[in-house]
Structure 1
Amino acid sequence: MLQHFRKPKWRHAKASVRRQAVEQLSAQEGESEALLRELACSDEDAGVRRAAIRKLSDLELLRKRMMEEQDAGVAEAAAVRYRQILTGGSGDADLQLRIEELGHCSDVRVIAHALRGGREEALRLAALERCTDESVLADAAVNDPVARVRQAAVERLHSQPALRRVMERTRQGDRKIFRLARDMLQALEAAETASQARAEERSRVLQALQALADRGASPSAAELSRLENRWQAVAGDAEAEASGRFGDLLAAAWQRHRESLQPRQSPQEPPLLAQWRAAADSGRPDPDQLEAVLQALAEAPSDDVPDELRAEAELARRFVTHRDSLRALIRSAAAKETDAGSRDSMEALMDELQWPSGTPRPRTLLDAMAALEQARQPEAEPSGRDQRYAALQERLQGVEEALKEGNLRGAQRALRQARDIVDEAPGGASAQAERALKRYTARVAELRDWRRFATLPKQEQLCEQMEALVGAEMPPPELAEAIKSLQDAWKETGGSDSPESRRLWERFQSASDEAFEPCRAWFDEQARQREANLAERERIVEQLESFLERVDVSGLPTAKLIEIRGTAREEWNHFSPVERRAGKALSRRFEGLMDRLTERIRTEQAANRQRKEALLERAEALPEIEPLAARMDAAKALQAQWREIGPAPKAQERKLFRAFKAACDAVFAERDEARRTEQARQAENKAEAEALCQRLESLAEAESVDAGEMRGTLDETGAAFQALGPVPRGVREGIERRFEKAAGQVRRRLEAARAQRQEQAYEVLRRRAALCAELEAQVMAGSSDPAAIEARWPEAATGEVA
């Protein structure tokens, strides 16, 4: 019945006993699993918690211990066990459960580990969705054994350096991944170039507006509309600060434009002027509001009407006059009843109104303009006419896009093509086409005038900068780069057809030729260097061909072949650049030879992979070998054999090595645990030995101790000291000397006590002998007193005899 009261080992006071108990538990048993969970979370000893964690397979609990554990060693053990189970390297956890657990994990190291070492394709794909580390994604794009995973990894890359690394590492291997990475890199570069171009265009627009503000100029409405259109074309990714600055500059420019058209006379402006201002400043004045203002103007004395209102009053009068016609055309357009005659009437009305672009438009006028745009959509026409119309619309759209971008030459070219289409049309151009050409011709002319105004100072500045490079003391590469940069900047100005721009171009070109003269010798030297590099590459190819012809590469170790291939590639890359055309055929020869080497390396690596897989199976069977010392010897032998085998294919090599290392590490972890247990036991023995030494030392220093008790204690501690197990090697001799010294002190004290007892006994005998002699003398004298002698007899034992 005593077993019911015996405390289980996992509740033992000694941590080493609890650790041994944990080693005997199995997580596959329900009761044991609950016990392991409890010990992993709440045991006070870090070693016990670590041992329990190594037995668990609960991913959620392992993740919590990994994140919440205070002891670094225990947290690391939880992380190792967590990664091991999550990737499928241990245990039999369901794949779907592991994928779901991966979705809860935020540790980037675990995600990277799952992506690199996950056993199943689905797990690695799930890790891909969570991975944000570009270097890990790039490795997966190159090394994952499944093409779909490699492709998904490439598609998640968003940085140019990572894509370049993938291209470099797959250039001679996975061509599909190489092309995908190349296409994505080109798309990123194109997007970056486009973004930079948009930023530069925004900068140019802001500079133009700032220049207008600095001069206090009153720009035309067309000029401001062009600047606004240019900004809107590139405003998608503009920063808030730039957008705010543009809005402020544009609003100020429009204000200066309105002030130039409608100068205020004085603070006390006439009531009619104030009434008109209120109508105009409303943004889109109501037709009835305009009519009321016109009526007031008509009835007012001529002296009360300021001169600056007469032009605007005439504009409003024309609108009111044609308002009913505009409304009728709007209704026709809404009812889909417009024909060629209706469109021509609408075009004629718009031409007659001639409403300035910078002046707010009434709502009716805006609706009419929208109806006109709708009516301009082509109707079904004969095939030839339809094609000409489509071609004309395409050219006019090209003019519009070029104008938005500020591309003068593109706009001029598209406008000429549109004019050619109209001129070649049988029966001449339609009124609609002529009006469109007229509008775009005027806008192109405005852009040309603006370009001349805006680009001539820039071109003058570029001429001065190019002339400053003439005779400049700069290294030839930097000088050539500076010249090219100025030439690119000239191209960005778009040029101009004006005589001034042509003269500046000739000046710029002359300075460019003169500045480039010192670079010619440097470029000639570069050409000679390219020829020398080409000769060196020919030497490398010949040596490689000779080596492959006369040496049986099948007898060389894989590592040696890889070294030869790497050295050849390193030397080939060193002798660069070469003339592209001349080096192309040589490059094909070199790559062919490298392919032969690579094929042999792959064959050897495949054989190495099979040998290492066999070693891995033996390593995974190590737990079956008993005892631990035999397991360790077997693990060391397997490691020695592993080192003798050459490398396997890179992707499999890493995976095999990780699994092999994990199997061997498990054996050495057992050794380490046994060593820690032994160290703990020796530490306990040391503490107990020190306590025995202290006990004897205290006994030797005690003032009054019974000799029998002292001898008993000496014998007891001596027996306990002899029964102790091993202690740490470095302290054993010191403890033994300390114990012997304390025991010697106790023995000497015992000897001194024995000698003192003997001396006391001799003294008693001497005194009693004196009493006997005294009694004999009395008897001889005839005057003996035996009673007195007898009374003094006990006193002789205490040393008090007179």
Structure 2
Amino acid sequence: MIFKQLFQPKWQHKDAQVRLQAIQKLADSSILEQVAAKDIDTDVRKHALEKLNTLASWDKAMRHDSDVKLQKLALEKVKLMLFNQGVDLSQNDKEQYLAKCNHMPLLEDYARRGDDHNLRVQVIKRLDKASLNYDLAIRDNNEEVALICAQSIADSKQLEKIAQKAKHSKVKSWASEKLAELKAAAEKPAKIRKDASLLLSKLLALKDKTDYLQVKSTGEALLQQWQLVSTELTCLPEEEQLTLTNKFAQISDKFQSSLAQLEVEYNKAQQAEAALAQQQQIQQQVQQAIQTIQDKVANAIANEGDAELDDIVKLISDAKSLLSQDHIGGRVTEQLFNQLNGIEQNAAHLPEFAEQVALATRAVTQLNQWTLPQEIGDFDQAQEQFDSWFDDWKKLRKSMLFDLPVELNESSQTLINEWKNGLKSFSSQQNSAIKQLKGQMRELDRLIKSGRYNVALGLFRKISEGIDGLTSKSYSKIEREHQRLNEEINELEGWKSYIGLPRKRELVAEMDALVAQPMQDVHERAKQIKLARHTWRLLGNTDSEENSQLNEAFDIVVEKAFAPCREKFAELEAQRAANLAARNQLVDDAKAAKQAFENNGDYAELAKALTRLQNAWNKAGSVERSEYAKVSQAFFDIIRPLRARINTFHNDNAQQKKSLIEQAQECAQSEDLNQASEKLKALQQQWKNIGFAGANTENKLWGQFRAINDTVFNKKQADYQAEKDKQQVAFESIKSELDTIAGELDGATLELCYSKLEQVKAVSVEQCSPGQAKRLHKQINQLIDSCQKRIADLKQNVEQQNLQNWLVSLEGYVNSGTVDEAALNQLPSLLVNAIELAQNSPATGDASEQRRDLAIRMEIIAGIEPPVQDANRKMEIQVQLLSEKLNDGETPSGIQLLHDWLSLGPVQAQDKALFERVTKALLAM
């Protein structure tokens, strides 16, 4: 036993300090790994791990060590190794470790802070965590990593933020391009559907067109466009693709059929058009030939010979031959044939045509010798002479065998036009005078019928003066009507007194009746009196005593009838004077308003004052016309400049507000709604600070400005609601996940609890609102506590079960003094070490006493009352425990105490009863 104890390894010593010292000298990694994994003392395991300082050992401790602090230390050590701090780790080891590691927080930490960009990319892709990718795309210092993270994001909202906030311009550019692609992809089905439908509609519409060339070119272009669009139909549902393809096939067949029919019609039309062009060309050539023939005829006449007769006949024959090539025919062709036949017949009568030319020449010479009339008295004779000559001229022209020679034709036409224009001026003058006289005679007839004889007599005298300016031929056109009216006027002279006196008596009676009536309307009565005076004057006077009496009576009665009017007009005059004073006061008020504006510059107050003054001016009564002109000018000389200044002020304000509208439209086009809304709020404040722009303009501009604001803020509200809904979905999803984990904790194994704990720690709440994130963080912390408590309980249960198993094995050892190999392998190294120490130690007399003290110590720690006979020793040991607690700060563990109990040497018979107490105390701890 002594020799066995002597050669026992110190790393298996029962004293932890001894083991610690032994570890410092150990170089065997397998032993260090055993100690790091199985030693019951945390410090010993920690030092063994530090001695090993390998990624595998730290990783194992991080995942399986029972001490939470040592787990955290192991996690930090693993991080340091992965980040090449303190230990050089090969690239291959890093790759293999990161490929197998399931510790999500560690992987995420490496993804954020790792120094190997390729490994970081591998880890990022393995994690495939949206929030991590989003964060790194914006903040990561490495452009390549940031770009790869950005490329894994498909959410448009996140891409918008990346395009705005990313650290690298390349990432921003990619995000902007991706957003454009997503937008185009989202809009593509609708665009393709619209383009396809539009193409089909256009192709279908071509069947109703009749222009073959246009239909053909347009149709070919549409078919080519369809080939391009058809390759994009794959973005539509299969059923819709099939529908559009079938429609195209049907419409294409209809188009091809219609095009074939149009082609036939087009070819026919082209042939007809070619034939018509040929006909027009033939007709033009024949007309030129006829002109050539006419010229040759003129030359033959001028040379007084028939030397060119053969040429003329040949030209006629050639023209007929050419005209016979016209297979269409028609009126023009027939006329040309007739004209050629006529020329051919007349060609044999050139001497006769020469005589006709001579007659035409003498007629033109005769007209040229006559003189155009210079006075109205010569007009009738000149007109008659020209009309006779012109009739003879037309007959001569009609009988001509050929057209007149060009020079003679031009000179005759010029001379005829001169005579027509010269006679036209006199003719127009006479016609105008006749028209005026006819109108006057109609008016004279109306005056006679209405009894206005004096006016009729005056008008008749004017008509007589107008007739003096007419020629005899012109007068003959109105002679009968003039004579009839002359007879009626002569009759009027005899009936004047007979008709006038009775009418005057009636007027006096009417005025007497008017005097008896109460005056209702002063202006109406004044009008009646004025009309009566006018009628009286029209009736004229006769040389009779009764006429004088009626004139005197009429003057008296008219004065009586007008007396109330005079009084009323006096009242109105006074009222007009008062109105004038009121208007003058308005002029003074306008001056005061102008002065007030000059002092304070308040456009709003000025506008109110001008409106009030204008309304008061409009309501003010009438004044004398002469006075009104003065006061009106004074008033508006003040008002108009002020109103112009207001209009200028309103126009300036309108221009400023239009500028704000343009700025608002630019804001509305921005994709950053938050920035756009802030700018719009600033523009709204500027709008408030700008003055009024006029009633109509203000309302119109405000409507435009408000519509733009409403559009942006409604869109922002929609985006806010969409973001809120997205946050709610994320919140509910995370909460559901957490609730599920919480439900799975009951009955979960230790390994599952560790997995769930890592799962809970890996939960990200970035997509939730701050309030939701706060609630979730609270739930996450509670769930972490629950997981840790469950892990602690499970560990305790495992330790308790292990302890029971160990105690069962040790019970056999205590009773028999031996332990089989299988039981020994199940015991922890610390207890195996204790048994080896016991077997290698001699039996001592105080061993049992020491074991009793250790049993009492265990009972005190477990809260079990020792037997009565040990009461005094209990008090002493309690004092020792208290002192150790105060000095060392820690209480030995039950396993350590069991180790100490077993290592005191071979178990004696009296120790077996103590082991029962030890078992009970350990199970109660």
TM-score (norm 2): 0.28
Higher-RCO chain (CA-CA 8 Å, sequence separation at least 6):
2
